[in-house]
Structure 1
Amino acid sequence: MTNIPTPERVVEVAAPRTWSLGEAPWTGTEVLPPRYRVIVDNDFSGDPDDVFQLAHHLLSPSVDIRLVVGSHLSEGDGFDPGPDTASHAVLVAREVFSRLGLTDDDRIVLGAQAAMRDPRTAIDSPAARAIIAEALRDDTDLPLFYAAGGGLTDLASALLMEPSIASRLTVVWIGGPEHEGFAEAPPGGSAVEYNLAIDVAAAQVVFASEATIWQVPRDAYRRCLVSFAELRTRVRSTGPLGEYLHDEALEILRGAVAHSGRGAGEAYALGDQPLVLLTALQSPFEPATSSSDYVVMPTPEITGEGTYRHVEGARPMRVYTGFDTRMMFEDLYAKLAEHAAWQRAGGR
């Protein structure tokens, strides 16, 4: 599991140079205006691919990160059995901000601590309120992406509390099982996909809403593999932030070995990284997710058992099937290296 920091450690690990969102001083060039607004939602106290995604997104100036939602895990989750996993997620997000030297930690908001009890009852949380406020803004025409790498509790609650926001955002979700005819479940795969299992009722709400959905199902996010040799030479070698990211991932490998009783291989899945690719790394002219493959299909219903049910005449959704992983990961490595070099230079 990701190590849960204390507030004291968050302060102790602060980077020597500070900056604010909307800046990118490590590039040495003028920062162009952002293209999109993004709300990041993830269970940061779970699998540490979340912290890779958060750091990468925050280092991407083409998107304006408006909120970072610290969301909950399933009760008794193997990465963080809890309780209060959303609070733990907030602490981890604060540590990432501190290690980056990023001063805007007021963008981090607390999500619900548990799943919805049914698809009709919202959970009022600071995150749900903040989501509604951001979606309803009328002082900007920047499109809004909701980039979610875990459960969907806080978005679903916001949709129930204020249904009009559905037409004002695009949901990019890492989660859900394979679609019939496109892929098969992995050997020994869980009956209900991991992120969907965090809150099935919430997924039911989002899929039944009018929100535009770009889904990255299990078969697609499992392809986002990096080797531990890559993480050693391209991440850990950059400096303190890279060491932190690498060591968090290595801890997962050690846990897998202990759990399975056999070697865990040489690769690690950074399965949340498509959230960055699909929002911050779109094509320059006629912006689109041109480096990624997807199919368009009617949005299915999510059943209570965590499966899909076809809905005749449903609104279309995108299901992503493949990514330009070279650009996605090389961009991560390059941004970590540039940021680390700037931090080493010292002074603001």
Structure 2
Amino acid sequence: MGFQPPAGPRCRVITDNDYCGDPDGLVQLVHQLLSPSADLRAVIGSHLVTGPERPTADLSYERVTEVLSLMGREVPAYAGSNVSLADPQTPRPSAGAEAIVAEAMRTDTGLPLYVTLGGGLTELASAYLMEPRIADRLTAIWIGGPEYPGLAAPPPDTPGVEYNLNIDLIAAQVVFASPIPLWQVPRNAYRQTMAGMAELAAYVRPAGKIGAYLYDSLCEVGARLAPAGLNLGETYLLGDSPLVLLSTLRSNFHPDTSSSRHVLRPAPRITEDGGYEDRPEGRPIRVYTDLDVRLMLQDFYAKLTLQARNVRR
């Protein structure tokens, strides 16, 4: 067994991700499952940028059930909507959105609730449109959005809308215009989360069935893209793992994300072309600029190793 907080969990977490896409989401899910200071209340499989002809939320849900089975864990899992919002007023009801509403509206616990989102914002926006009272009952942590002018420059050769924003741009417009407390990890921050394939081979692959599953999933991406002329080199961006860092691996006294850095900015408008438009009256949101990648990765490797040792006993 790894370390268990004597006082139990300090927060509740619902994690929502496009788990059938980039397998960094699977790494994030396993890390969250191994983190005892968070009470993981639900896992939501959400859709990719493709349309209803490919039900990717259902595929994400299937990936979640695979991970839970490999780890011998029972956590409520739900599928989100397979399509994006059609307009800013109409939710896309789904089991995932309903799970967010149900957990946020609980009155039998004082633990803070974090809804962590590693893909699009369809389920959170839908939950808010279905029940606006959730806005002051949770904090949303989102991996997504482009660089803010004056804070960072975009990487070269990045045409179009940032990927997670592009999954459901209307949903992002809803969330940014809402009163929901929001911690944003834009592209310049999540691109800091670089792991070497050598360290993944050394620390993740040997860690039992789930370690091999994660490592093979990451390797498959490079193997699949190589024939198309895309060379991923020997690193991998674990861009969804800050969801665990910021929600769960907070400081012991005065809990906060004290080893990472953020700025406060008025929530901007999300424009139709995926940019930001200043909105001075917007509520303050956290925009993360620097992440504690050391803590994030070493905590994950250590927990995975201890889990594997415990399984072998």
Normalising by structure 2, report the TM-score.
0.97
State, as a whole percentage, how many aligned pairs show the same letter: 50
Report how far residue 262 of structure 1 moved: 5.1
Equivalent residue for 1:197? Answer: 166
Change in CA separation of 1:311 and 1:239 when aligned onto 2, cut-off 3 Å:
same
Change in CA separation of 1:208 and 1:242 when aligned onto 2, cut-off 3 Å:
same
Report how far residue 28 of structure 1 moved: 6.9
Aligned counterparts, 1:1-348, within 5 A: 26-27=1-2, 32-75=7-50, 83-104=54-75, 107-259=76-228, 261=229, 263-345=231-313
Report how far residue 205 of structure 1 moved: 0.5
Map Cα deviations across residues 294-328 of structure 1 (whole Å, 9 max, x no partner). Answer: 11111101112211111122110000011111111
Report how far residue 256 of structure 1 moved: 2.9
Residue segments in structure 2 that go unaligned for 5+ positions in a row: none
Distance 1:31 1:40 in 2: 24
Report how far residue 239 of structure 1 moved: 1.9
Report how far residue 129 of structure 1 moved: 1.2
CA contact (8 A) 1:44 1:93 kept: yes
Distance 1:214 1:263 in 2: 32
Q: Please report the RMSD computed on the Cα atoms of aligned residues, expressed in angstroms.
A: 1.4
Normalising by structure 1, report the TM-score.
0.87
Change in CA separation of 1:193 and 1:83 when aligned onto 2, cut-off 3 Å:
same
Map Cα deviations across residues 254-307 of structure 1 (whole Å, 9 max, x no partner). Answer: 123222x25321100000010000011000001110110111111101112211
Distance 1:221 1:232 in 2: 22
Map Cα deviations across residues 6-59 of structure 1 (whole Å, 9 max, x no partner). Answer: xxxxxxxxxxxxxxxxxxxx2275753111111100000000000000000011
Distance 2:192 2:53 in 1: 29
- The residue type paired with residue 186 of structure 1 is P
Residue segments in structure 1 that go unaligned for 5+ positions in a row: 1-25
Report how far residue 216 of structure 1 moved: 0.1
Runs of 4+ in structure 1 displaced over 3 angstroms? 28-32
Distance 2:131 2:273 in 1: 26
CA contact (8 A) 2:5 2:36 kept: no
Distance 1:319 1:160 in 2: 24
CA contact (8 A) 2:125 2:172 kept: yes
CA contact (8 A) 1:31 1:61 kept: no
